[in-house]
Amino acid sequence: MSLIVQKFGGTSVADFERIRHVAKRVKKTYDQGNDVVVILSAMAGVTDNLLKMAAQVSDSPDKRELDVLLATGEQTTAALLSMTLKSMNYPARSLLGYQAAVITNHSHGNARIIDIGPDRINSMLNDRTIVIVAGFQGCDKDGNITTLGRGGSDTSAVAIAAALKADVCEIYTDVSGIYTADPNICEKAQKINEISYDEMLNMASLGANVLQIRSVGFAKKYNIPVHVRSSFNEEEGTMVVNENSGMERLVVSAVTHNKDEARITLKKVPDQPGIAAKIFSPISKAGIVIDMIIQNTRPGGETDLTFTVPNADYETALEIEKKVAEKIGAEVVFGDQNIAKVSVIGVGMKNHSGVASTMFNALADENINIIMISTSEIRISCIIEEKYTELAVRVLHTTFGLDKE
Amino acid sequence: MSLIVQKFGGTSVADFERIRHVAKRVKKTYDQGNDVVVILSAMAGVTDNLLKMAAQVSDSPDKRELDVLLATGEQTTAALLSMTLKSMNYPARSLLGYQAAVITNHSHGNARIIDIGPDRINSMLNDRTIVIVAGFQGCDKDGNITTLGRGGSDTSAVAIAAALKADVCEIYTDVSGIYTADPNICEKAQKINEISYDEMLNMASLGANVLQIRSVGFAKKYNIPVHVRSSFNEEEGTMVVNENSGMERLVVSAVTHNKDEARITLKKVPDQPGIAAKIFSPISKAGIVIDMIIQNTRPGGETDLTFTVPNADYETALEIEKKVAEKIGAEVVFGDQNIAKVSVIGVGMKNHSGVASTMFNALADENINIIMISTSEIRISCIIEEKYTELAVRVLHTTFGLDKE
């Protein structure tokens, strides 16, 4: 008998039929003798609709009030699932964020969980109640409703699993788990049975579609096994766990790609102290997140500086940098939206030299030019021309022995 | 400078345009230097839609969870109005039922307010914040969300006004106030400027459309002046206040009618102790509310018993009584849906004899037969044939001097 936290995403509760399906899934786990805590997202599309409502009354809706509005989405699904289970004669009960004592800081719209009081849930579990918690929401110490940002229900689930010392946190979604590459462009991609928290944290593009990256940090900190699996079948999915010696140890665990990048280059930047701040501060003030930065020193005390931003922010960033270049006396600002990032990820890299050169050679063999490179302890990323993305992913997938039989 | 509680009903917040209109109304009251607490209903139609959602997942939705679901309706409008006022640079803030410390008993779906803690609202008012409270909802002592039943936002408003010792509770609705009769059938009906709590309590049919009757009981208990007025114009509406000598004193204040009644008669009921319980218990067990009961004793220890029920419950009640009649040996059960109730109401009646006979004579002069009669201290009601309803209302309106010039 275990304590199991099950989180169902928006597509899993998108309509009444699917809510009934979720109820059956929960019932099955409960009938096996487990204690069950369920965390729910809003029905798919509902959060966007609520944002549109807010936009109808205000150009920049008050963040506190927006949280009050958005919280209704998960409140609705929590009530509906509890009703469904009750009508099946199961002892279910919904809790909203504040009722489940999910205490956050005051950052409306992107709040961080600072504490979860497990007493009420534990006492309900002791009565063999199925506890249904509205995800994505909490409250600050003054009792104001807060929300945790996009995908926040994953973080709700993992944080509650941590507070309850749950045996596992199951994340039910519309895919069967984490794959070695995107199956849409690499038909030999396989589901990964087990992956470490650190690898997940480095797999933004492959992972973020199925699991909010912030929740992985939580899972790592409290060592909560996270089971990413499909709500539409009974297959085992991917276990995200602490790195351990028992893991099947491949050098590279997955190949990821991201076409949503754009590159901006400033040439002949004067090599003076504080110049980087002048270039990047206006970008971050505009709320734009920079991914990679490369600096080449030229002879004569000038440098070329290249960085990448999300495609959606490209125009804004380019305008900003044109003004910056004029001010600091840099020569040219030009950019390129037709780029992509391919990455290989694996904790096995730590103990293997030569992964980078294997990667570069594999790309060179296909005449794929590498524009930028960045590395971390367990990841190597290359910026290439966008048109080579699919080819690069397939080649790397084969090169690092990830193809399924 | 006053403390004013303003309640806006579902039609007043039915869309974004109307929410903006409400915001302007609130702003105007605030700008005059008043402290303002606003109570909101859900957008018109939303509560019905939520009930339909619940019906999709359960034939008899769990009442606790239904309250969690229904509470999202007022949560939505409270957030939207606060956002609107904030975007107009007014210091507004929403509070849900539990945040406003609206404590109720445990009767989900029809909870009674047992306490309201005014501290949080008072401290917000001290900061000159406009407090927007989600109506219709509260929480029980265990922190579960409860709702107050249909029209419950009126009760929220009056109860909060009482807790805050507000100077007035304004109920904004889609009509201009309470009328001496339904203007749709009596064109000489006039708006009543001032009416007593007791008269309101007796005016179910005229009053309930604009003010939940339960809220009037609250207003009377705590002596809160209630101002029923239109949200679509600036006219003064109807003040519902304590009976006082300063009131313009008419014998009759209003004529009401109700076509939603049906009559059931049992003949030759054995006159035995406990027989009434046998007849009426199955009806109340079926959740049907009986309005009037009349019993005529016949020679020989048998009686005829006639009572009225809402039209919607007529078929059910008739089936029940057919079985009862067989069991207790009564002779015939027959019914009639083509009846209506007309009533005259007025605190002035207390000090005037002859109101009843004036009423009966006026109806007789028009050849309107009276089928049943019931009276209270300040009300006389007659059941008549439904086809005479409009005529009866107009005749009584003229007879008791209510026609406008």
User: Nearest CA to CA, how far is B158 from chain A (Å)?
Assistant: 24
CA distance A195 to chain B (A): 37
ipTM of the complex, rounded to two decimals: 0.84
* Cβ atoms within 10 Å, residue B318: 16
Q: Are B84 and A109 in contact (CB under 8 A)?
A: no
Chain B contact set for A96 (CB, 8 A): 68, 145
A206 backbone dihedrals φ, ψ, rounded to 5°: -75, -35
The band of A208, judged by pLDDT with boundaries at 50, 70 and 90, is: low
Check CB contact under 8 Å for A58 and B19. no
Residue A80 sits at the chain B interface (C-beta within 8 Å): yes
Contacts of A94 in chain B (CB under 8 A): 65, 68
**pLDDT tens, residue by residue, B227-284:** 999 998 999 999 999 987 565 667 899 999 999 999 999 998 887 888 888 899 999 8
Paired tokens of A22: 């979720």
Average confidence score pLDDT of chain A = 92
> CA A135 to CA A153: how far, in whole Å?
4
The Cα B340–Cα B248 span in angstroms is 30
Question: What contacts B36, CB < 8 A, 6 or more positions away?
Answer: B4, B5, B6, B26, B29, B30, B130, B131
Which of B19, B56, B82 comes nearest A65 by C-beta?
Answer: B82
DSSP A285-353: HTTPPP--EEEEEPTTSEEEEEEEEEGGGHHHHHHHHHHHHHHHT---EEEEEEEEEEEEE-GGGGG-S
The torsion angle over the Cα atoms of residues A206, A212, A214 and A219, rounded to 10 degrees, is: -90
Place of tokens 């990048």: A261
**pLDDT tens figures, A363-404:** 999 999 999 998 888 899 999 999 999 999 999 999 999 998
Look at A64 and B99 and tell me if their CB atoms are within 8 Å: no
Residue A120 — pLDDT band, cuts 50, 70, 90?
very high
Q: Provide the 10 A C-beta neighbour count for residue A2.
A: 12
Q: Which of B156, B239, B167, B237 is nearest to B197 (CA)?
A: B239
Contact: B86, A65; criterion CB under 8 Å: yes
CA dist., res. A400 & res. A136, Å (int): 38
Render pLDDT for A232-276 as a digit per residue (tens, 0 to 9): 899 999 999 998 756 666 789 999 999 999 999 999 888 788 888
A54–B19 CB contact, under 8 Å? no
How would residue B207 be classed by pLDDT, with cut points 50, 70 and 90?
A: low
Is any Cβ of chain B less than 8 angstroms from the Cβ of A304?
Answer: no
Question: What pLDDT, on a 0 to 100 scale, did the predictor assign at position B331?
Answer: 79
Whether the pLDDT of residue A209 is over 80: the answer is no
Helix axes A16-31 and A63-87, enclosed angle (nearest 10): 60
Q: And the tokens for B402?
A: 């209510």
| Cβ neighbours of residue B97 closer than 8 Å, sequence gap 6 or more | B71, B74, B133, B134, B136, B137, B138, B139, B145, B146, B156
Question: Nearest C-alpha of chain B: how many angstroms from A333?
Answer: 38
* pLDDT, position B100: 97
Rounded to a whole number, what is the distance in Å from the CA of A236 to chain B's nearest CA? 28
- Contact with chain A for residue B94, Cβ under 8 A: yes
pLDDT above 70: residue B292: yes
Tokens linked to B214: 């339960």
Please tell me the distance from the alpha carbon of residue B85 to that of residue B74, in angstroms, as a whole number: 17
Are the beta carbons of B79 and A93 separated by less than 8 Å? no
| A–B CB contacts, 8 A cutoff, strictly below | 111
pLDDT per residue as tens digits for the range B9-21: 999 999 999 999 9
Nearest Cα neighbor of B133 from B3, B271, B273, B7 is B7
Q: Which residue among B60, B65, B83 places its CB closest to the CB of A58? A: B83
Give residue-wise pLDDT tens across range B24-56: 999 999 999 999 999 999 999 999 999 999 999
Per CB-CB distance under 8 Å, the chain B contacts of A57 are 16, 19-20, 80, 83-84, 87
> Is residue B86 within 8 angstroms of chain A, CB to CB?
yes
Three-state DSSP class for residue B187: coil
Q: Which residues of A touch B80 (CB under 8 A)?
A: 53-54, 57, 65, 69
The 10s digit of each residue's pLDDT in A7-64 is 999 999 999 999 999 999 999 999 999 999 999 999 999 999 999 999 999 999 999 9
Contact at CB, B66 and A58, closer than 8 angstroms = no
Give the number of other CB atoms < 10 A from CB of residue B191.
18
DSSP E strand boundaries for B85-167: 92-95, 102-104, 113-116, 130-134, 137-139, 145-147
Contact status, residue A304 vs residue A279, Cβ threshold 8 Å = no
The confidence score (pLDDT) of residue A246 equals 61
Token digits for B400?
A: 């008791």
Q: Are strands B168-173 and B226-230 parallel, antiparallel or unpaired?
A: parallel
pLDDT value of residue A206: 63
Q: What is the average per-residue pLDDT within A177-187?
A: 92
What are the tens digits of pLDDT across the range B297-339?
777 777 888 999 999 999 999 999 999 999 998 877 889 999 9
Going by C-alpha positions, the residue among A46, A17, A27 that lies closest to residue A132 is A27
pTM of the model: 0.85
The percent of residues in chain A predicted with pLDDT above 90, rounded, is 75
| Structural domains for chain A | 3-174 (3.40.1160.10), 255-399 (3.30.2130.10)
Query: If 0-12 CB within 10 Å is exposed, 13-18 middle and 19+ buried, where does residue A8 land?
Result: buried
What is the reported pLDDT for B249?
67
Confidence category of residue B205, pLDDT binned at 50, 70, 90: low
